[in-house]
Amino acid sequence: MNGKIRYLMLLAAALIVSASLLFTNRLTSKLADEERKKMELWTEAMQRFSVVDFNDTVNFELIWKIIESNTIIPVIIADEAGNVINTVNISDIPHNTTHFYAKKIASFKNQNTPIELKISDFEIQYIYYDNSLLLKQLGYFPYVQLSIIAIFLVICFWAFAADKKSEQNRVWVGLSKETAHQLGTPISSLLAWEEILKSQSIDKELLTEMSKDIRRLSTIAERFSKVGSQPVLTEENIAAVLENAIVYMKKRTSQKVDYKIISENLDIKIHINVPLFEWVIENISKNAVDAMEGSGKLTFEVSQNGKNVIIDVSDTGKGIDRKHFKDVFKPGFTTKKRGWGLGLSLARRIIEEYHKGKIFIKNSEIGKGTIFRIVLK
């Protein structure tokens, strides 16, 4: 995802949240002030109710109407000793009210300053009140909004990332298919020339080597053609496949590189696509040979762990810094002056997407070497 778009989205989200918090806080403060005024009016009505002349119908009805108007604000009326005299808009009162009311009064007192209710010169009561449900919900609103925006941003980032990955996959697959297509024409021509040369008095050893190279080109074209489509997996002897890949690598690397296969069982069989799996082994081997600068030991150790087959590829190269363990599988990452940094990225794609396995760096020490682990079912 484009970094500029990402930062703009984060900035927009921050502005929305800030504006929402500011507006909600102002609105909450105003509503709290209004509720305070209502409770002061309600307290005054209660005070007058205690001395009202019941024959004065007009005043009595007005005072009673004000008292009854409070239908949303929870109230506890208590004396100076904290004994509860009356309650309004409080439900779910348990049998043991002492602890319940004490807890409620402490909570109400923490929310709002109590209002004095002067009954007489000798008696004062206190009005403890809580915020209304509407005021509480308004206080929660910014956090709900923040959660919604966060979820929205996560979905957007995921969608952009998925779209980018999809686009990269399309480019990758298109490039691979085109490469296979472009290789097809010269390979066909070389096969024809091979047949013509076989009928001539040409050194058979030269023809044999030429045939090997043509077959190699055909294998490479087949590998590229399989990228982007689900390859056919066949049951193969993993030791034999590794041996075949190593034979090819031995002829194209320094004789100072010692290749070795260690297997607890020479008859371990797994379902793989041979051309693609050999490609993985070749890419790991090439990186290992480069890390060893053409001299060292490259060991392939095969073992079984339950239903999984584990292949550890260890070298005696310069090692990889731990902070780069995941980076080495990213397209374009390379520590070499020459190279595209696609070998290990391709290896991971083949193992994880096409063979449903795992590939990762098991261990690496600077100056001692690296162990790549491949896990296959």
Q: How confident is the model over 280-328, as pLDDT tens digits?
A: 998 899 889 988 988 999 999 999 888 899 999 999 999 988 888 888 8
More confident residue, 74 or 6: 74
Least confident of 65-69, 146-150, 339-343: 339-343
Q: How confident is the model over 334-361, as pLDDT tens digits?
A: 766 555 567 788 888 889 988 999 999 9
Quick one: pLDDT at residue 67?
A: 84
Name the pLDDT band for 168 (thresholds 50, 70, 90).
low
Residues of the chain with CATH 3.30.565.10: 231-376
**Arithmetic mean of pLDDT, 194-215:** 80
Compute the mean pLDDT over every residue in the chain, rounded to the nearest whole number. Answer: 82
Token readout for 235 is 């049951």
- What pTM was computed for the model? 0.52
Q: How confident is the model over 9-37, as pLDDT tens digits?
A: 778 777 877 887 788 888 888 888 888 89
Q: Among 140-149, 150-159, 228-237, 267-276, name the most confident range.
A: 267-276
Q: Is 72 helix (H, G, I), strand (E, B) or coil?
A: coil
231-376 belongs to CATH 3.40.50.300 = no
E strands, the chain, where? 75-79, 84-88, 115-118, 124-129, 234-237, 257-263, 269-272, 296-305, 308-315, 358-365, 369-376
Token readout for 306 is 């339950």
Quick one: pLDDT at residue 172?
A: 64
369 touches 316 (CB < 8 A): yes
pLDDT at 2 over 60: no
**Arithmetic mean of pLDDT, 138-166:** 77
Residue 354: closest CA among 203, 184, 226: 226
